[in-house]
Structure 1
Amino acid sequence: MFKQFFLKNLLLITTVSLAACSSVKEYNLAITEKKHSVQTLKQDIDLTHQILKDGHPGLYWYISKKQLDFKFDSLKNAINEPLTTRQFYQKLSPVVAAIRCGHTALRFPSVIQKDKKEREATKNKIYPLHQFTYAVSEDKLIVINNKSKNKNIKTGTEILEIDGLAPKEIFNIVSTGFSYDGYNSLSRNKRIERNFAQLYKIYFSEQDSVAIKFKTDSAVINTFVSFYDKKKDAEAKKKLDTAKTVAKVPDKKIKKTLKYRGNKVNNEYQLDFKFLDQEKDIAYLKIKSFSVPTANFKQFYKQAFDSISLSKSKNLVIDIRNNPGGTLSASLALFSYLTDKDFVYLAKPINNGGFSADKYQTGLKKLRYYLTAFNDNGNIYEDDEGNFFSFMKGYKPQKPHKNNYKGKVYVLINEFSFSASSLISANLKGINRATFVGTETGGGANQCTAGRMPVVTLKNSKLDLRFGLNRMAPIYQQDLYGRGVFPDVEVQSTLKDRISNYERELQWILTDIKGKG
C-alpha cells in the first residue's frame, strides 16, 4: 500500500516538476503579448464561475443565481476570437464585479523579473502618471501633488487629456471592473484617484513618455511627461543636503511617542494620536488602516487611551476616513475601549465549508492539494441548522477594556471606509455610542466577505481571483439592505477645501464641541 502511494506521488512530483520548468519568459509572454485561444479563455470563465460557486459565501446576496449564470454564459458566447490577458481582464472583471462584493475581484498579474539589476531599475523608474497625486471631482482630474520635473504644474491644475483621451472617457473605462459592497458605488471617484496610475497601466499600458494637456489659471499647456530615475535623483539631493545642512538630533520624547504606530506609507503615518487643543480636552485618533505590519495596535491603543485618561479629555475624535479595513483583531480591540459593557462584536462567520484554493491551481500547488487535501476543516464547525462557520474572536462575548473611554465620541467616515472600518462603525452605531460625521461608508453596514482571503490563479490568462471565505457581519444590522453606514451629519470637503488643506468635516466637529462647551 505504502509502495503504491509512494510511486503514485513520485510520478506526480516528477510530472509537476517538469511542468514547473516552463520559463519566466513564457509566463511574461502569456500575460503581455500572447493571445489566448477562444477555448482556453472559455475554460478560465468556467473556472472562475466554479470557484465562486464552491467558495463564496455571499454569491447571491445582491444578484440572483439566474442573473449571474446568464452573465457568465453571455460572456462565453461573446468570446469569439483570441484575446490577450489585458483584453480578457476587461471583459471578465465586470462579470465578477456584478456580484457586488467589495472583497471579490480579479487582479492583473505582474511581469516577473528574475534579474536583480532589472528589478532595481524598474523599482527606481518613476513612470509619468506616478509623478502626480490626484483628485477626481465631477469627472475632472485635478493635480493635488506634483513630483514631476515640470514645476509649472501647481496644485489645482486640471488635466484635460492624456494621450488624446479626456479623463471622463478614461474613468468610464477603468471603473467597469470595480467591485462594490452592495448597491453603494459612491467610492468610484475615490478609487480612481487613489489608483489612477495603476488603473491606466492595466487598461492602456504604461509608457516611458505620455502626452498630457494641462489647464492652469492662465493657459492650456501641452507637454510630454517622461519617466525619471528615483535613485539618481535621491543621490543628487543627498549630496546637496549634506553640503547645506547639519542633521538634527531627534527628540527622545517624541521618538518614544511614535514607536508603536509603525512606518510611514506615502510619507504619512497610518496611525496617529494627538490633542487638538492646549487644554487636551479634544483627543484625535487617526486610523487609516487596521492593517499596518510595522505597527503594534495593542500598544498604540494603550498609549493613546492612557494619555486620554490622564488628561481627562471630554471629547474623542476617531478618524477612519480612507480606511480600507484590515484585521478583525485591530478593529475589535479599538471597540473594547469605547464601551463599558460586555459585548459580542461579530455575527456567526458563515462559510461554504472546507475550501482549498490549491484544488484549482496547477503545478506544485495542485500537488499539495492531492498530497494533503489542505483546507480549513480544522477551523470549521457545523451548527444545528447545518450551516458551516469558522470560529473567530468577537463571535463570542468579549469584555470591555478596563481603561475604556466614557466621554463624547465623534467618528469621521467617508466613501473609502471599508471592511473592518465599516464593521466597527456599524457596531458603534448599533449602541448609539458616537456621532458620525462625513459621508456614507463604502463598506457594507450589514455584511461583507472576508476572513481567509485565498487567491486562485486562472490557468490560461494568469489572472488572479481573490475573495473572502466567510460572511463577516456586525452584531447590529440596519434595515436598509446593501448600503453602508450613514453619517448622522453629512459633511464633505469640496475640491477647493482639498486644494487648500481645509478639513471641513473636522471643522464641523470642533464647532459642535465649542457650541456645547
Structure 2
Amino acid sequence: MFKRRFFRNLLLISTVSLAACSSVKEYNLAITEKKHDVQALKQDIELTHQILKDGHPGLYWYISKKQLDFKFDSLKNAINEPLTTKQFYQKLSPVVAAIKCGHTALRFPSVIIKDKDARAIAKNKVYPLDQFTYAVTDDKLIVINNKSKNKQIKTGTEILEIDGLAPKNIFDIVSAGFSYDGYNSLSKNKRIERNLASLYKIYFLERDSVAIKFKTDSTVINTFISFYDKKKDAEAKKKLDTAKTVATTPVKKIKETLKHRGAKVNGEYQLDFKFLDNEKDIAYLKIKSFSVPTANFPLFYKQAFDSIALSKSKNLVIDIRNNPGGTLNASLALFAYLTDKDFVYLAKPINKGGFNTDKYQTGFKKIRYYLTGFNDKSNIYEDEEGNFFSFMKGYTPQKPHKNNYKGKVYVLINEFSFSASSLLSANLKGIGRAIFVGTETGGGFNQCAAGKLPVVTLKNSKLALRFGLNRMAPIYQQDLYGRGVFPDVEVQSTLKDRINNYDRELQWILTDIKGKG
C-alpha cells in the first residue's frame, strides 16, 4: 500500500513539474494571435457538446436534442479555415447560448501577466470604455456617469459611434452569445450596460485610445478617449487635498451603525438597510447580490430585522433589482424571515450523477482523474426512480426564523434579478407573501441549472465552459414555461428618470403605502 501511494505521489509531482514548464508566453499567444487549425477547433466543438451532454441537467428544457445536435454539427461543418480564439468564440458562443440556460456560457480567457510591475500597471489602467456608465434604450447608448477627463460629456449625452461603429451594430454583435433562462431575453440591454467595456475587448480590438462621436443637445463632438492611470490620479488628488489648509473644527467620525454588510463594490454597498420615513414605518432592505464575500448575511439579516421589530414597522421594501444571484443559503435565510410557517424552499436538486472536470482536461489533471476514481460522487444520491440528486439545504423542511416579519412586504424586481434572487421571488410568489413591483425577472420562475458550477477549459482554444450541475427549482411552478417571475405592478423608470436619479418603481410603492395610489 505504501509503495503504491509513494509511486502515485511521485507521478503526480513529476506531472506537476512538467506542467509548470509550459510557457506562459505560448499560452498568451494561443489566446491572442495564434490561429488554431480546423481539426483542433472541431475537437473543441465536440468536447463542448460532450461536456454538456455528460453534466447539464436541463440540456433539452428549451431546445430539442435534434435541434441542438444540428447546431453543433452545422458549426463543425462550417469550420473550414484556421481561427483565432476570439474568432472561434464568436462562432461557438451562440451555439452554447441556444440551450437557453442563463448559467451556461463560454468565458473568454485572460492573458497571464507574470511580471509584478506589469500586473500593477494593467490593474491601474482605466480603459476608455470603462470611464463611463451607460443606459441602453431603443438601440441608443446614453452616458449616465462620466469618469473621463473630457468634461464636455454630460449625463444624458448620446454616443453616436465608437471607432466608426453605430451602437446598434455593436449591440447586435456582442449580444449574439448571451445566454438567457428560457424565452426571456429582456436582460439584454442590462447586460450590455454592465459589461460593454469587457464585451468590446472580446469582439473588437482593445486599444488605449478610442474614437467616440458624441451628441449633446444639437452639438456633435468627435473626440478620442484615452486610458488613464487611476493610481497616479489618486496620488495627485491626495497631494492636492493635503496641500489645502482648512480652518475648521475637526469633524468627529461617526461610527458605522450598520455592520456585517461587507465592503463597497464600485463605491456602493451591496447590502443596505434603512428606514424611508422618520416614523420608521417603512423599512428598506437592499440586496444587490447574494454573494458578498466580505459580508456576514446571517448577522446582517439579524441586525436589520431586529431593528424592524424594535420599530414595529408596518411595511418592508425588499429591493433585489440588478441582483444576479449568489449562494442558496443567503437567499433561503432571508426567506425564513418572511414566513411564519414551516417551508420547503427547494425541489429535489436533480443532476446527472458524478461529474469530474478533470476527465476533459490534459496533462496532470487528466492523470489525476484516473488516479482519484473517475467521478466526483461526493454528496450524490439516487432516489427510488433512479434519479441522481445532491442534498442541499432547503430541500428538506425548514423552520421560519423566530423573529420573522409579519407586516406588509413589497419586492422590487427587474430583468437583471437572476438565479438566487429569482428563486427567492418564486417562493415568495408561491405563498402569496409579497407585492412585486418592477419588471419580469431575468431568472426563470420554474427552474434553472445551477448549484455546483464547474468550469472546464477547452483543450485548444482555451475558452472556458461554465454551467450548473443541478436543477434548482422552487416547489411552486407557474404555467407559463420558460419565463421569469412577473410583477404584480409593472413599473419601469424611464431614461429621463435615470438621468434625474428618480426611482419611479420605489416611488410607486411609497405612494401606495401612503394610500394615494
TM-score (norm 2): 0.97
- Find the counterpart in structure 1 of residue 253 from structure 2: 250
Shift of the alpha carbon at 1:120? 0.2
Give, in whole Å, the separation in 2 of the partners of 1:485 and 1:245.
Answer: 55
Kindly report which structure 2 residues correspond to 1:10-49, keeping only aligned pairs within 5 A, or say none.
10=10, 14-15=14-15, 17-49=17-49
- Find the counterpart in structure 2 of residue 61 from structure 1: 61
Aligned AA (1:46): E
Secondary structure of the corresponding residue to residue 446 of structure 2: coil
Shift of the alpha carbon at 1:217? 1.1
Q: Deviations over 1:267-310 (max 9, x none)?
A: 00000000000000000000000000000100110010000000
Secondary structure of the corresponding residue to residue 389 of structure 2: strand
Shift of the alpha carbon at 1:244? 2.5
Give the alignment's Cα RMSD to 1 decimal.
1.5
Secondary structure of the corresponding residue to residue 273 of structure 2: strand
Residues 182/447 of structure 1: CA separation in 2 closer, same or farther (3 Å cut): same
Residues 5/251 of structure 1: CA separation in 2 closer, same or farther (3 Å cut): closer
Give, in whole Å, the separation in 1 of the partners of 2:515 and 2:15.
Answer: 74
Secondary structure of the corresponding residue to residue 498 of structure 2: helix
Q: Are 2:274 and 2:285, in contact at CA under 8 Å, matched by a contact in 1?
A: yes
Kindly report which structure 2 residues correspond to 1:362-511, keeping only aligned pairs within 5 A, or say none.
362-373=362-373, 375-511=375-511
- Find the counterpart in structure 1 of residue 104 from structure 2: 104
1:338 paired with 2:338, answer yes
Give, in whole Å, the separation in 2 of the partners of 1:490 and 1:358.
Answer: 46
Give, in whole Å, the separation in 1 of the partners of 2:374 and 2:69.
Answer: 29
Give, in whole Å, the separation in 2 of the partners of 1:337 and 1:153.
Answer: 45
Give, in whole Å, the separation in 1 of the partners of 2:184 and 2:332.
Answer: 25
Kindly report which structure 2 residues correspond to 1:153-168, keeping only aligned pairs within 5 A, or say none.
153-168=153-168
Q: Are 2:19 and 2:364, in contact at CA under 8 Å, matched by a contact in 1?
A: no
Q: Are 1:17 and 1:363, in contact at CA under 8 Å, matched by a contact in 2?
A: no
Kindly report which structure 2 residues correspond to 1:227-266, keeping only aligned pairs within 5 A, or say none.
227-244=227-244, 248-252=251-255, 255=256, 257-266=257-266
Secondary structure of the corresponding residue to residue 89 of structure 1: helix
Give, in whole Å, the separation in 1 of the partners of 2:80 and 2:145.
Answer: 44
1:132 paired with 2:111, answer no
Shift of the alpha carbon at 1:424? 0.5
Q: Are 1:141 and 1:159, in contact at CA under 8 Å, matched by a contact in 2?
A: yes
- Find the counterpart in structure 1 of residue 298 from structure 2: 298
Residues 317/77 of structure 1: CA separation in 2 closer, same or farther (3 Å cut): same
1:514 paired with 2:517, answer no
Shift of the alpha carbon at 1:4? 6.8
Secondary structure of the corresponding residue to residue 41 of structure 1: helix
Aligned AA (1:187): S
Give, in whole Å, the separation in 1 of the partners of 2:487 and 2:16.
Answer: 54
Give, in whole Å, the separation in 2 of the partners of 1:300 and 1:11.
Answer: 48
Shift of the alpha carbon at 1:11? 5.1
Give, in whole Å, the separation in 1 of the partners of 2:93 and 2:488.
Answer: 35
Aligned AA (1:251): I
Kindly report which structure 2 residues correspond to 1:347-366, keeping only aligned pairs within 5 A, or say none.
347-366=347-366
Q: Are 1:17 and 1:364, in contact at CA under 8 Å, matched by a contact in 2?
A: no
Aligned AA (1:17): S
Secondary structure of the corresponding residue to residue 25 of structure 1: helix
How many residue pairs are counted as aligned between the two chains? 514
- Find the counterpart in structure 2 of residue 80 from structure 1: 80
Shift of the alpha carbon at 1:346? 0.2
Q: 5+ unaligned residues in a row in structure 2: which ranges? A: none
Give, in whole Å, the separation in 2 of the partners of 1:73 and 1:398.
Answer: 46
Give, in whole Å, the separation in 1 of the partners of 2:251 and 2:37.
Answer: 62
Residues 29/384 of structure 1: CA separation in 2 closer, same or farther (3 Å cut): same
Give, in whole Å, the separation in 2 of the partners of 1:24 and 1:248.
Answer: 51
Shift of the alpha carbon at 1:241? 1.4
Secondary structure of the corresponding residue to residue 289 of structure 1: coil
Q: Deviations over 1:317-358 (max 9, x none)?
A: 000000000000000000000000000000000000000011
Aligned AA (2:276): L
Q: Are 2:15 and 2:364, in contact at CA under 8 Å, matched by a contact in 1?
A: no
Give, in whole Å, the separation in 2 of the partners of 1:240 and 1:373.
Answer: 62
Give, in whole Å, the separation in 2 of the partners of 1:374 and 1:288.
Answer: 39
Give, in whole Å, the separation in 1 of the partners of 2:15 and 2:226.
Answer: 46
Q: Deviations over 1:352-377 (max 9, x none)?
A: 00000111112322232122136441
Shift of the alpha carbon at 1:515? 0.6
TM-score (norm 1): 0.97
Give, in whole Å, the separation in 2 of the partners of 1:307 and 1:2.
Answer: 60
Q: Are 1:20 and 1:364, in contact at CA under 8 Å, matched by a contact in 2?
A: no
Q: 5+ unaligned residues in a row in structure 1: which ranges? A: none
Shift of the alpha carbon at 1:221? 0.0
Give, in whole Å, the separation in 1 of the partners of 2:12 and 2:376.
Answer: 24
Give, in whole Å, the separation in 1 of the partners of 2:347 and 2:5.
Answer: 43
Give, in whole Å, the separation in 2 of the partners of 1:4 and 1:258.
Answer: 56
Kindly report which structure 2 residues correspond to 1:317-328, keeping only aligned pairs within 5 A, or say none.
317-328=317-328
Secondary structure of the corresponding residue to residue 514 of structure 2: helix
